[in-house]
A and B are shown apart, each in its own frame.
Chain A
Amino acid sequence: MTSNKNTTSKLDYSLIFILLLLFLASCLAIYSAQASGQYKENFLIKQIVWYVVGGGIIAAVMTLDSDQLRKLTWYAYGFGIFLLGFLIVAPASIAPVINGAKNWFVLPGIGSLQPSEFVKIFLILGLARVVDQHHQKTLLKTLQTDFWLLMKMGIVTVFPLALIIKQDLGTSLVFIAILVGMIFISGVSWKLLVPIFSTGMTLIGTIFYFVLWKPDILEKYLGVGEYQLRRIYSWLDPYSYQGSDAYQLTKSLLAIGSGQTGGKGFGNREVYLPESQTDFIFSVVGEEYGFIGASVLISLFFMLIYHITKVGMETKNNFYTYICVGVISMITFHVFQNIGMTIGVLPITGIPLPFISYGGSSLMGNMLGIGLIFSIRYHYKKYMFSTTA
């Protein structure tokens, strides 16, 4: 990454700094989380290794310029769809059912791999490419062209979504979040956006109404399982519901709440939470570092988003801007959903906290996204120099 003197100056140092802070936070949190001794594995070492690998991914992605990215987009997208499809038909020997879902390839010697984590990035690329191409071809923007754009974006999203929605609700929601962000930035007229989003809101409201007051209709006509409903109920009233979701939520609230303002300090956890090194890592942070520490972590994410937003603003290349928005949507959704579920703002869905939670696939996916940002910074400066020179 630092071999070429010319390129070093184009490196995004503030982004590296933010990443280093996140890396540090991740190490501290995972170290504390595994102290409960639920597993024999040393997650911390593995996470550090994954970070190093992630650094390599960033370096690799950085070498690709805008044109190369455009060309690669559909190959990557197609490869992602293939992986998701293959996951469904793959034999249990390489794609076992873990926790009731078939989301993972387990490759001997390498470990487990969750393709959907990468597909998120491929989806961002695909959508950015579609929007960018649309605007290049469409000189006169009308409602009709906007609508056509929406259709194209929808089609690009629907394939990966259809392949995972049954298996992995959390990631499906990430896909949708990415789509929403992209639609928003795609420049589609407000005349279309307002009805679309208000319809969406109404739909969510109606579903909630049914979940809360008429669950039998959902079960009867939509085949919604009782366990899916229970997820909502245990979120709204964790103390009255039994089961793992309510258990995790009450434990998580207990951990975070008892951390109070200043936290209990490094290694002084008191509340046992299963799987705290992955999805409930924020509970560890909240308990050990309190409100101050947790707020600092959220601010760190906010700085990351701010930085990516700035990159998206500064670049003259719309394709890049779209990618930035996709990455922003993805990270924002992950952070809000993950932290939200640990403090009872949202129902529990199994998605990790980016850069902090232990997990190779998730970290690789996020690094891939951040790699794109690095690449944008690296290359748009070059464009800038070339145009001014």
Chain B
Amino acid sequence: MVVQVGGLSRLKKSKQKKKSNISFRLNLIFFCVFILFATLILRLGIVQIVFGEDYKREIEQKEVVPINSSVPRGKIYDTNGKLVVGNTPLKAITYTRSTSVKQDEMLDIAKKLANLISKDSEEDFKLITKRDRQDYWIMNHPDEATAKIKKADKERLEKKELDKKEYDKEIYDLTRERITEEELNSFSKQELEVLAIFREMSSGTTLSPHIIKNKNVTDEEYAIVSEHLDTLPGVDTTSDWDRYFAFKDDKGNGPLSSVLGKVTSSKEGLPKDSLDYLLSKGYSRNDRVGKSYIESQYEDVLQGQKETVKNVTDKAGNVLESQVYREGKSGNDLVLSIDIEFQKRVDEIIEQKLGSARAGQPYMDRTLVSVMNPKTGEMLAMSGKQYVKDKETNKTEVQDFALGNMTTSYSMGSAVKGATVLTGYQTGAIKPGDYLNDRPLKFKGTQVKKSWNTSGFGSINDLYALKRSSNVYMFLTAMKIGGQQTYVPNGPLTIDKVAAINTFRKNFAEFGLGIRTGIDLPGEQTGYGGGQIPADAGKVLDFAIGQYDTYTPLQLVQYISTIANGGYRIQPHIVKEIHEPNNTGELGPIIEEIAPTVLNRIDMKDSWIDHVKDGLELVVNDPQGTGYGTIKNKQYKIAGKTGTAQALYDGPLGGHPMLWNVTFVGYAPYDNPEIAVSVVVPWSTTDATHVNLEIADEVFKAYFELKEKHLNEGKTGSEGTEGTQTIDNN
């Protein structure tokens, strides 16, 4: 290779230059690395030194834990603003278990508390389980407990190759089993009291206040515990509430008490059947919730918004500070459509009339009255009384049975004939004003079917049939509906029983008979018989006079309301308004007003309905009418239909004698109905009783008299104030 000298030197130079160039750039790279690493250290300084304190605090502060404390439940008022259900404030001593507290610390607090409060009632001791006693014994006698486990036991268990946790549990269980009865019963009364307190303290959920005592907390107890709160970590003195019925008598019975429903105690906690649902809605396990009827149906309204306190705790679980995260709010109040004064009056009427009618009547134990505004569906009264024999004392007592209006059903008899006639029109079987021959009907192989006037009324029209309650007119109508146009004495009954009964049921359902009325209460029944096909065709004829399917008194009042208001089946409701809570004792601002709901319009012409209404008017106001004699208050323009059903007894006394249910449905005034009434008195031994009509008469009277009274009160400007005086014991 020939290299020029000049070239060589240039190459050398270039090489040297290159080398210095490389080291320069290498230095530059190193400088860049230095800058980058310096950046990291600078940033580290910011994170660890400048903000380190903040991060450290963030670690020390554990999660903030929301705590819910209960607020008073909403109150229930009657339609005039009188308090029906309120709350009684209670003093309560609570314990909030922190996450880090140890058993012996809790025991120590329990011992201190036992000196300050008494929790030694029999009820308290009854709650102590065997398991509680065993645990408590082991806690108090650690050495003796250890001695109960022999070396052989340990060796045996070690062979099982359990992990430590399982092993410890086996040992513990074995120790528990070996505690003798004698040892378990060795606790003094003092110790038992400590145990009663201790078991309450440990049964609460962590970080959630659990009530140690809220019954009969004396002022002294409350004060002395309040004074010593600083030595009792977790213990607090607060207020709690208990449900209070304004109109309860000493036996615990009050107007509507069965319909108002009950609230669970905090021991019961959430009802099992809706546990998951309620937990998902943010309830705690020991929350008190409505468990039946209005209290349950309107749980969402009555249950307030719990106060949520967030506790900031340190790592050990000690509460550092509490902040109110969400303000608590009392539950909203309900205003019922019931007028409690009217309700009470109806209760009295029933009690009095039933009381005297029961003489010599072993089976007649109950009476049910539903009163509804036929235009709005507002329940004005829901009244029921039942005589119940106390099993222990063998004494017969009257109990509230308002619930029976929707949960029990009976054969209602002729009261349903309005629906029968209208079904006849609708199917074209009869026309308004048609005459039919009322005489005893004898079909081949069946008993004679006849009206109560056994020889028959002769040729009568529909109005006469309603007025005098002709059965045969309804039988003949039912036969025509079933496809048999003529009656042949001693001939066969050839109707299509399936088609006929289905037609009847479909049309009756338009009035609410046999289906749910849709009242705003849980547990409504629809009666028996629906869907059942009768064995013989004669039963279809019985259906037409209300002696086959059974209906509830509530269905009955919906049915008569549908006729009264001109054909609209309206949904009954017992709650009228929902109000904001107001601590001054007056009703708060209205949140929701329950509007009338029309469930369906019956498929009948207005003229037909009017025609039937004419018939119903005659029942009470025509001297021949079945209700004329007993319903005396003609000035209220009452229309209605009586009913007397032959029915098999299925009540509490056992046996199934054939008895009579006497019923009444009606409304007033007939030219502009504002109240609809159903009266049901089941299980009379005679059909000669008029207790049903007497009750109805009194109920109408009570209603219109009270209406008058309220009107006068309104004039003097005192309406409403009467209610507020008794409101709120909170």
**A residues whose Cβ falls under 8 Å from a Cβ of B:** 135, 139, 141, 181, 184-185, 187, 253-254, 256-261, 270-271, 286, 290-291, 294-295, 298-299, 301-302, 305-306, 309, 312-313, 318, 321, 324-325, 328-329, 332, 335-336, 339-340, 343-345
Mark each residue of chain B from 51 to 72: 1 if its CB lies under 8 Å from any CB of chain A, else 0.
1111110110000000000000
Which listed residue (A185, A260, A335) contacts B22, Cβ 8 A? A185
B48 contacts across to A, CB distance below 8 A: 256-257, 259-261, 286, 290-291, 294
Give the CA-CA distance A185 to B30 in the complex, in Å.
11
A298 contacts across to B, CB distance below 8 A: 37, 40-41, 44
Give the CA-CA distance A253 to B25 in the complex, in Å.
35
Give the CA-CA distance A34 to B728 in the complex, in Å.
63
Residue of B nearest to A188 (CB): B25
Query: Is A187 a contact partner of B25 (Cβ separation < 8 A)?
Result: yes
Sample 13 A-B pairs with CB under 8 A, ordered by A number: A139-B11, A139-B14, A254-B55, A257-B47, A257-B48, A257-B56, A298-B41, A312-B26, A325-B26, A329-B29, A340-B40, A344-B47, A345-B40
B43 within 8 A of A: yes
Give the CA-CA distance A291 to B49 in the complex, in Å.
7
B23 within 8 A of A: yes
B34 contacts across to A, CB distance below 8 A: 302
**B residues whose Cβ falls under 8 Å from a Cβ of A:** 11, 14, 18-19, 21-23, 25-30, 33-34, 36-37, 39-41, 43-45, 47-49, 51-56, 58-59, 315
B49 contacts across to A, CB distance below 8 A: 260-261, 291
Query: Is B29 a contact partner of A184 (Cβ separation < 8 A)?
Result: yes
Given A185-B22, A345-B43, A257:B37 Cβ within 8 A? no
Give the CA-CA distance A299 to B34 in the complex, in Å.
10
Which listed residue (B30, B40, B51, B59) contacts A336, Cβ 8 A? B40
Give the CA-CA distance A244 to B207 in the complex, in Å.
30
Give the CA-CA distance A168 to B25 in the complex, in Å.
30
Most-contacted residue by chain B among A181, A301, A329, A345 (CB, 10 A): A345
A343 contacts across to B, CB distance below 8 A: 40, 43-44, 47
Give the CA-CA distance A221 to B56 in the complex, in Å.
45
Give the CA-CA distance A306 to B31 in the complex, in Å.
10
Known: A254-B55, A345-B43. 12 other contacts (CB 8 A): A184-B29, A185-B29, A258-B59, A260-B48, A270-B315, A271-B59, A286-B48, A291-B44, A294-B44, A298-B41, A336-B40, A339-B40
Query: Is A185 a contact partner of B59 (Cβ separation < 8 A)?
Result: no
Which listed residue (A260, A299, A302) contacts B33, Cβ 8 A? A302
- B548 shortest CB reach to chain A, Å: 65
Which listed residue (A260, A309, A344) contacts B56, Cβ 8 A? A260
Residue of A nearest to B31 (CB): A309
B25 contacts across to A, CB distance below 8 A: 184-185, 187
- B428 shortest CB reach to chain A, Å: 70
B27 contacts across to A, CB distance below 8 A: 309
Query: Is A309 a contact partner of B29 (Cβ separation < 8 A)?
Result: yes
Query: Is A260 a contact partner of B29 (Cβ separation < 8 A)?
Result: no
A336 contacts across to B, CB distance below 8 A: 36-37, 39-40
- A331 shortest CB reach to chain B, Å: 9
- B12 shortest CB reach to chain A, Å: 12
Most-contacted residue by chain A among B34, B48, B315 (CB, 10 A): B48
- B100 shortest CB reach to chain A, Å: 16
Query: Is A256 a contact partner of B29 (Cβ separation < 8 A)?
Result: no
Query: Is A253 a contact partner of B29 (Cβ separation < 8 A)?
Result: no
Query: Is B22 a contact partner of A295 (Cβ separation < 8 A)?
Result: no
Residue of B nearest to A193 (CB): B25
Given A256-B47, A343-B44, A328:B33 Cβ within 8 A? yes
Residue of A nearest to B57 (CB): A258
Give the CA-CA distance A306 to B14 in the complex, in Å.
27
B53 contacts across to A, CB distance below 8 A: 260
Give the CA-CA distance A321 to B23 in the complex, in Å.
9
Which listed residue (B19, B41, B56) contacts A295, Cβ 8 A? B41
Which listed residue (A254, A309, A344, A345) contacts B26, Cβ 8 A? A309
B21 contacts across to A, CB distance below 8 A: 187
Give the CA-CA distance A270 to B37 in the complex, in Å.
27
Give the CA-CA distance A291 to B51 in the complex, in Å.
12
- B163 shortest CB reach to chain A, Å: 15
Give the CA-CA distance A256 to B43 in the complex, in Å.
11
- B57 shortest CB reach to chain A, Å: 9
B26 contacts across to A, CB distance below 8 A: 185, 309, 312-313, 321, 324-325
- A316 shortest CB reach to chain B, Å: 8
Give the CA-CA distance A332 to B38 in the complex, in Å.
12
Give the CA-CA distance A220 to B19 in the complex, in Å.
49
Give the CA-CA distance A286 to B51 in the complex, in Å.
14
Give the CA-CA distance A141 to B13 in the complex, in Å.
13
Query: Is A332 a contact partner of B59 (Cβ separation < 8 A)?
Result: no
Query: Is B40 a contact partner of A256 (Cβ separation < 8 A)?
Result: no
